Amino acid sequence: MKEFFNIDERLLKIGEQALEMAQPVFKHIEKTTRYNQQKVLSAFIKNGVSESHLGISTGYGYSDRGRDTLEQVFADCVGAEDSLIRHNFVSGTHTLTVMLFGVLRPNDTILCITGRPYDTLIGVLGIDSDSDGSLAQFGIGFEQVDLDSKGEPDKEEIEKRLRAKSYKAVYIQRSRGYSLRPSLTVEKIGELVSLVKSIAPDTLVLVDNCYGEFVETTEPLSVGADLIAGSLIKNPGGGIAPTGGYIAGRHDLVEQCGYRLTAPGVGREVGASLGHNRELYMGLFAAPHTTGEALKTAVFAAALFNKLGYEATPSYDAKRADIIESVLLKTPEALIAFCQGMQKGAPVDSFVVPEPWDMPGYDSQVIMAAGAFTLGSSIELSADAPLREPFAAWLQGGLNFHSAEAGIMLAAQSMIDKGIIKF
């Protein structure tokens, strides 16, 4: 590292110690990666993926065998009956929107049991205001059960609500998003699904699976969730898919989502792949490995910043359910120095200096570090931070650990340069 980057000798030494600390955790991550990678390979083989599947369709995209086969391959990878995995989903939020509009009908109510949903879902659900086009405007109700004081789902309250009223669906967000609550393991999601189904067997369980794919050896479908959805510029796109999303789970529900993605009566039979099949296949094939690299990056960052005297959550050796790490940097100066340093280690736009900025939808300024091949991709090393207490940087991604390791080291070096970290 010191041959290529200007890094303090003492920081290099601490970096080596952090790497040493992380080794047993890396071993565990590699076991998961190995299992998931071989699971994905076997799904490719089972479905007879061939060169002809990597071709291009245009226009309506009827009989696009590559597209249809990919949906079966992906379903097998996540333990689903069926899936939609397409570049036509423009983002994670769009994908989740299609899932919700796909299965909910006027006068239905959805109950979120993991507290307030991710920021961009607020407008979709119409939670704070009747945003134009929201589910609320279509007569679909939303209710939420707050997390308990430890940031865990409040099972007692969930049970009470389910006994008092009938809900069409329950919504679970697996990842912590930009909060400090723990992310939900598949095992914990399983406990919630069992609770829901024991009281209300017909209530659907829909999971926002963003950032969770391939972190464990199973996905929420294997513990009884009905649908999962996520973004292809996060884990399951492997850093190769240029855009897109997926919905997977029960066949009849996936069909309903298809009617919302395109048009009722037309559904999933259309949608030209325009040459993206190859990138989506390659991305899915790379996804378990890339997710493992992102996990190693998070673990290393936690270990390094612990050694530098900062709290990081989850702790480096905690069981993980997503790829997010947050480092509590305590002051705005530290947060800015951290993000600016990380940007210096990006393969693209390393020379850019990120600055805090007023962003629509946020109540404080936000600073972001991202130098990615795909705009907005957060399976590539990136960090976001609102400039408010507790001045935490949420970091995620890393296409390969060895380059992301340098990015993390440069973040710490930048804090040394600014006199924030002193030895």
Ligand X SMILES: *Cc1c(COP(=O)(O)O)cnc(C)c1O
Provide the phi-psi class of 123: left if phi over 0, else alpha when psi is between -120 and 50, else beta.
alpha
Assess 396 for contact with ligand X (CB under 6 A): no
Residue environment code for 319-357, b if the CB has 16+ CB neighbours within 10 A, otherwise e: ebbbbbbbbbbbebebbbbbbbbbbbbbeeeeeeebebe
CB of 24 to ligand X, least distance (A): 28
Measured distance CA(323)–CA(305) in Å, rounded: 17
Q: Which two tokens stand for residue 330?
A: 């305590």
Assess 405 for contact with ligand X (CB under 6 A): no
Assess 239 for contact with ligand X (CB under 6 A): no
Assess 93 for contact with ligand X (CB under 6 A): yes
Q: Which stretch binds ligand X (CB under 6 A): 86-94, 151-159, 262-270, 410-418?
A: 86-94
Assess 47 for contact with ligand X (CB under 6 A): no
Assess 92 for contact with ligand X (CB under 6 A): yes
Answer yes or no: are the C-beta atoms of 94 and 260 closer than 8 Å.
no
Looking only at the bridges linking them, the beta strands covering 141-144 and 109-112 are parallel
Count of beta carbons in the 10 Å neighbourhood of residue 166: 11
Q: Which two tokens stand for residue 363?
A: 């109540």
CB of 99 to ligand X, least distance (A): 11
Assess 131 for contact with ligand X (CB under 6 A): no
- Residue in the shown chain whose Cβ atom is closest to ligand X: 92
Assess 118 for contact with ligand X (CB under 6 A): yes
Looking only at the bridges linking them, the beta strands covering 109-112 and 325-328 are unpaired
7, 39, 54, 120: which one binds ligand X (CB under 6 A): 120
CB of 299 to ligand X, least distance (A): 19
Give the Å distances, CA to CA, from 198 to 148, 201, 203: 21, 6, 10
The secondary structure of residue 220, as a DSSP letter, is G
Assess 91 for contact with ligand X (CB under 6 A): yes
Assess 179 for contact with ligand X (CB under 6 A): no
Assess 64 for contact with ligand X (CB under 6 A): no
Assess 175 for contact with ligand X (CB under 6 A): yes
- Judged by CB under 6 A, the number of residues near ligand X is 12
211, 310, 316, 338: which one binds ligand X (CB under 6 A): 211
Q: Which two tokens stand for residue 99?
A: 């899932």
Beta strands in 81-203 (DSSP E): 82-86, 109-112, 141-144, 169-173
61, 153, 177, 182: which one binds ligand X (CB under 6 A): 177
Q: Which stretch binds ligand X (CB under 6 A): 159-167, 170-178, 347-355, 411-419?
A: 170-178
Assess 243 for contact with ligand X (CB under 6 A): no
Assess 246 for contact with ligand X (CB under 6 A): no
| Chain positions contacting ligand X, by CB under 6 A | 91-93, 118, 120, 173, 175, 177, 208, 210-211, 231
